[in-house]
Structure 1
Amino acid sequence: MGFNTSLSGLRASNADLNVTSNNIANTGTTGFKESRAEFADIFMGGTYGVANNAVGSGARTADVAQQFKQGNIDNTGNTLDVAISGNGFFNVSNNGNALYTRSGNFQMDADGNVVTPDGYNLQVFAPNEDGATVSTASMTNLKLSTTDSSPNPTSSVSANVTLPANASAPAVATFDPANANSYNYSTSVTVYDSLGVSHVMTMYYVKTANANEWQQYTAIDGTSVSATPTTLTYSDSGKLLSPANGTISLDGYTPASGAGSLSISMQVGDSSQYGEAFAVNDLSQDGYAAGSLSKFEIAADGMVYASYNNGNKKLLGQIALTNFNNKQGLQPQGNNCWAATTSAGTPRTGAPGSSDFGSTQSGALEASTVDLTEQLVNMIVAQRNFQANAKMITTQDEITQTVINISR
Structure 2
Amino acid sequence: MNPAMWISKTGVQAQDAKLQAIANNLANVNTVGYKRDRVIFEDLFYSVEQQPGTQLDNNRNSVSGVQLGNGTRMVGTQKLFTTGNLQTTSQSLDVAIVGNGFLQVEQASGEIAYTRAGQLSVNSDGRLVNAQGLPLRPEITVPANATGITIGENGMVSATIAGSTNATELGQLTLANFINPTGLVALGDNLYQQTTASGNPVTGNPGSDGRGKLKQGALEGSNVQVVEEMVDMIGAQRTYEMNTKVLSAADGMMQNLAQAAR
After TM superposition, the score normalised by the length of structure 2 is 0.90
User: Do the aligned residues in 1 keep the contact of 2:93 with 2:217 (CA within 8 Å)?
Assistant: yes
How far does residue 42 in structure 1 lie from its aligned partner after superposition? Answer: 0.4
What is the distance in 1 between the residues matched to 2:101 and 2:78?
Answer: 18
The whole-number CA distance in structure 1 between the counterparts of 2:141 and 2:249 is: 65
Tell me how large the CA RMSD over aligned residues is: 1.8
Query: Paired residue for 1:106?
Result: 120
1:113, distance to aligned residue in structure 2 (A): 1.8
Residue correspondence of structure 1 range 174-213 to structure 2 within 5 A? none
Displacement of 1:312 in angstroms is 2.4
The Cα of 1:112 is off from its aligned counterpart by: 1.5
Residue of structure 2 in register with 1:13 after alignment: 15
Specify the alignment match of 1:248 in structure 2: none
Counterpart of 2:233, as a letter, is M
Q: Which has the larger radius of gyration?
A: 1
Which structure 2 segments of 5+ residues have no match? 53-63
- Which residue in the other structure is 1:222 paired with? none
Contact kept, 8 Å, 2:51 with 2:66, in 1: the verdict is no
Which of these residues, 67, 70, 73, is aligned with residue 86 of structure 2? 73
- Cα distance in 2, alignment partners of residues 98 and 311 from structure 1: 36
SS in 1 for 2:66: coil
Q: Which amino acid aligns with 1:362?
A: Q
Give the Cα–Cα distance (whole angstroms) in 2 for the partners of residues 367 and 40 of structure 1: 31
Change (3 A) 1:144 1:333: same
Letter in 2 for 1:42: L
Which residue of 2 is the match for residue 84 of structure 1?
A: 97
Partner amino acid, structure 2, of 1:91:
Q
State the alpha-carbon separation in 2 of the partners of residues 398 and 334 from structure 1. 45
| Alignment-derived partner of residue 355 in structure 1 | 209
Shift in Å at residue 100 of structure 1?
0.5
Deviation, 1:5, is 0.7
What do residues 241-300 of structure 1 show as CA deviations (whole Å, max 9, x unaligned)? xxxxxxxxxxxxxxxxxxxxxxxxxxxxxxxxxxxxxxxxxxxxxxxxxxxx21111111
Q: Which amino acid in structure 2 is aligned with residue 103 of structure 1?
A: A
| 2:157 is aligned with 1:304 | yes
1 CA distance for matches of 2:47 and 2:253? 27
**Equivalent residue for 1:319?**
173
1:2 to 1, 4, 7: 4
**8 Å CA contact retained: 2:47, 2:69:** no
1:161-240 aligned within 5 A: none
| Residue 148 (structure 2) aligns with | 295
C-alpha distance in 2 between matches for 1:35 and 1:346: 22
Does the 8 Å contact 2:51/2:65 carry over to 1?
no
Q: How many Å apart are 1:321 and its aligned residue?
A: 0.1
SS at structure 1 position matched to 2:165: coil
> Who is 1:53 aligned against?
66
Number of residue pairs matched? 246
Identity, in percent, stands at: 36
Q: How does 1:13-162 map to 2 (within 5 A)?
A: 13-44=15-46, 52-95=65-108, 96-124=110-138, 141-147=139-145
Structure 1: unaligned runs, 5 residues or longer? 125-140, 148-292
Cα distance per residue 1:88-115 (max 9 Å; x no partner): 0111110211101101011122222221
TM superposition shift of 1:341: 0.8
What letter corresponds to residue 246 of structure 2 in structure 1?
A: M
* Aligned residue type for 1:301: N
Partner Cα separation in structure 1 for residue 11 and residue 20 of structure 2: 14
Q: Quote the Cα distance in structure 2 between the aligned partners of 1:103 and 1:49.
A: 54
Deviations 1:14-36 (A, max 9, x none): 01100000000000000001111
Q: 1:335-380 CA deviation, whole Å, 9 max, x = no partner?
A: 1111001111221100001111110011100010000011011110
* Distance of 1:339 and 1:21 partners within structure 2: 23
Secondary structure of the 1:349 match is strand
**Higher strand proportion (structure 1 or 2):** 1
| Higher helix fraction (1 or 2) | 2
Distance between the aligned counterparts of 1:59 and 1:374, measured in 2? 23
